[in-house]
Amino acid sequence: MPTSFQLPEAFLWGASTAAHQIEGMNVNSDFWAFEHSGLLPERFREMSGDACDSYHRWREDMDLLAELGFTDYRFSIEWARIEPAPGEFSNAEIAHYRRMVAGAIERGLRPMLTLHHFTVPRWFDEQGGWESEDAVELFGRFVEAAAPIFASNVDHICTINEPNMVARFAAIRKAVLAGNVWEEVGTDKYDEAATVALINAHRRAVGVIRRLTPHIKVGWSVAIANHHAVDGGELKAAEIASAARDVFVLAADGDDWIGVQAYTRVFVGPDGQLPVPEGAQKTLTGWEYYPPALGESIRSVARLVPRTPIIVTENGIAESDDAVRVAYTSGALAGMRDALAAGIDIRGYYHWSALDNYEWGSFVPTFGLIAVDRKTFVRTPKPSAAWLGAAGQSRAIELISDDLMSESVV
């Protein structure tokens, strides 16, 4: 039987997107260049292309979210559009994102802005990316130039999305350019120089935001993989967690909030991460279907930075069967409910993703609450969107009993 629980007062309730994954034709970005480089054809089965054409259709996207009942929308601004050449800032693009912020407010959606969601300008990447000597200074300059976008009508900013994944991709990319195969790069490899730069860039951005717009609550979001040790893998699991999670979570100590992004768990043996167990239920990304990941992630982060409020900035599932999406999300939200009941300071929940979009190499993994036709760009909300959106107005979540855990969802 369904059970319900009330959302706390002023709880953020929305969905998330990322510019490169939905806007389309982000031609000045490093990721566009990497997609078309031919380096990883097995990884980049499709190019981002027009994506969801949300650069032009953002009004329709916001209309749908507001009509469905959501009260919040997390979206990113694209550095590669705003600063297409070093020191050359586009007033037109700044005005574009200012219109998006105003449009969200007009529709009753509180905007959370992400300043960096995986992509950087091509020129920044070509001069060394996060390993260049002036990376931190350049990011701070971008944040200051972008300030007119968030000077008003924005209460929350995420500086950098999943810096641990940015550091991991830096290590993978370096290895691939050196002639190694993607799959042969260890799952515990994180570029040390990029890690230091990202933490310092975050701190620089926090300083800029607090100086220019002190009313804004600022933080960053971290991908939280739950490392389950098996067969004597406790020490290795702790080692991987330290590099993959803890250093980035601890960097948020003292911030206004930290974003938790959780999807699944991973098993770790004495020699490292293990594949998903044979026979386990999987999603379209090949991850294990594991709704408790969210509750476990929240508790892990709360233990590391107990003074920092938590916002769930991403949680979702790549799945073609929307009933499975509802079941998974209901199980995840039950974990969030229990964490709230335990006294953990959780301020909001954003589902990933608002739209079926470009998942960094393919459109096949469908995370969206709203389907998007690849040719016509027609948007079609799924039942999961109506179910989750209803909580935005009622402030109550109706949890659905998960009867699908024993069924294959491959």
Which stretch of 34-43, 251-260, 350-359, 363-372 has the lowest confidence by average pLDDT? 34-43
- Helix (H/G/I), strand (E/B), else coil: 149: helix
pTM: 0.96
- Give the pLDDT mean for 350-356: 98
- Spatial neighbors of 157 by CB under 8 A, at least 6 apart, are 112, 113, 114, 115, 150, 209, 216, 217, 218, 219
pLDDT digits (tens, 9 = 90+) for 269-294: 999 999 999 999 999 999 999 999 99
* Positive/negative CA dihedral, 215, 166, 52, 347: negative
pLDDT digits (tens, 9 = 90+) for 122-138: 999 999 999 999 999 99
Q: Domain 3-399: what homologous superfamily?
A: Glycosidases (3.20.20.80)
pLDDT at 183 over 90: no
pLDDT at 176: 76
Spatial distance between the Cα atoms of 307 and 284, rounded to a whole number of angstroms? 36
- Say whether 162 is catalytic: yes
Would you kindly state where each structural domain of the chain is located, as residue ranges? 3-399
Q: Which of 78, 83, 93, 162 is catalytic?
A: 162
The H or E element that residue 260 is part of is strand 257-262
Compute CA distances 56 → 23, 59, 329, 372, 377, whole Å. Answer: 8, 8, 30, 14, 11
DSSP state of 152: S
With CA atoms as reference, report the closest residue to 327 among 394, 266, 406.
Answer: 406
Residue of higher predicted confidence among 100 and 43: 100
Q: How many CB atoms lie within 10 A of CB 36?
A: 12
Q: What is the CA radius of gyration of the chain?
A: 20
pLDDT digits (tens, 9 = 90+) for 194-224: 999 999 999 999 999 999 999 999 999 999 9
| 308 and 251 Cβ atoms separated by less than 8 Å | no
pLDDT at 39: 83
